[in-house]
């Protein structure tokens, strides 16, 4: 039995995308003409505040208090480890979900070009990335940057591991064991953190 060839996927040009998503109906056209200038106006003032008029020294001085509260500096590595574990587990879950979608043929990435995949990643994680970069730019030590890099690396490794696990069929006992471990992770992290700093001292 031969596999049925998929018909070639035609991707819309930028002009077609604009007409379809922004000017499809008269109402869409009016909304686009009204909201687009307002959006550009808001982006301009946001950029002006971030790069010109913002009083970032206040944020810089209180950045640690803003991000981690009264968490003792001596136990900061525990927070880094916890964040890395969260990134790894999140990556595993994302990999498992994507592998299942691939098996079912519902993964959107199957019909995407490399450029579209990059744009999709930017759309989903661009704002988070910019926020993290802005916060890291305000720090004066290497710890936060190393933590951020560690979380990203852990997330990528988890994503690869989840994709590998999801592609194969495993005995039911293995699946149940993995599920229980994933569900237990938040409780283990809570115990790991509160062992160093009681909950009432977090604020």
pLDDT at 85: 96
Count of C-beta atoms within a 10 Å radius of residue 124 = 10
> What distance lies between CA 9 and its chain's CA centroid?
28
- With b for 16 or more beta-carbon neighbours within 10 A and e for fewer, the 8-27 pattern comes to eeeeeeeeeeeeeeeeeeee
Q: Quick one: pLDDT at residue 11?
A: 63
What pLDDT band is residue 3 in, cutting at 50, 70 and 90? very low
Phi/psi of residue 112, nearest 5 degrees: -95, 145
Helices (H), 23-142: 26-48, 56-61, 63-68, 76-104, 114-137
Q: What is the pLDDT of residues 162-188, one digit of tens each?
A: 989 888 888 888 889 989 999 999 999
pLDDT in tens, 49-79: 777 776 777 777 777 877 887 888 888 999 9
């Amino acid at each position: 039995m031969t596999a049925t060839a998929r018909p070639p996927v035609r991707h819309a040009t930028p002009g077609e995308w604009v007409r379809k998503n922004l000017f499809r109906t008269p109402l869409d056209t009016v909304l686009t003409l009204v909201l687009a200038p307002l959006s550009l106006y808001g982006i301009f003032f946001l950029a002006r505040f971030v790069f010109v008029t913002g009083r970032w020294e206040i944020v810089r001085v209180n950045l640690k208090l803003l991000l981690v509260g009264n968490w003792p500096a001596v136990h900061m590595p525990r927070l880094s480890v916890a964040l890395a574990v969260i990134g790894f587990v999140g990556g595993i879950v994302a990999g498992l979900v994507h592998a299942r979608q691939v098996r079912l043929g519902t993964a959107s990435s199957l019909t995407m070009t490399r450029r579209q995949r990059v744009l999709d990643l930017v759309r989903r994680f661009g704002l988070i990335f910019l926020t993290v970069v802005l916060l890291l730019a305000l720090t004066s030590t290497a710890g936060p940057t190393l933590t951020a890099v560690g979380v990203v690396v852990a997330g990528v490794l988890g994503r690869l591991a989840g994709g590998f696990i999801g592609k194969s069929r495993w005995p039911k006992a293995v699946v149940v064991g993995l599920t229980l471990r994933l569900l237990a992770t938040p409780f283990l992290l809570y115990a790991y953190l509160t062992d160093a700093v009681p909950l009432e001292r977090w604020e």
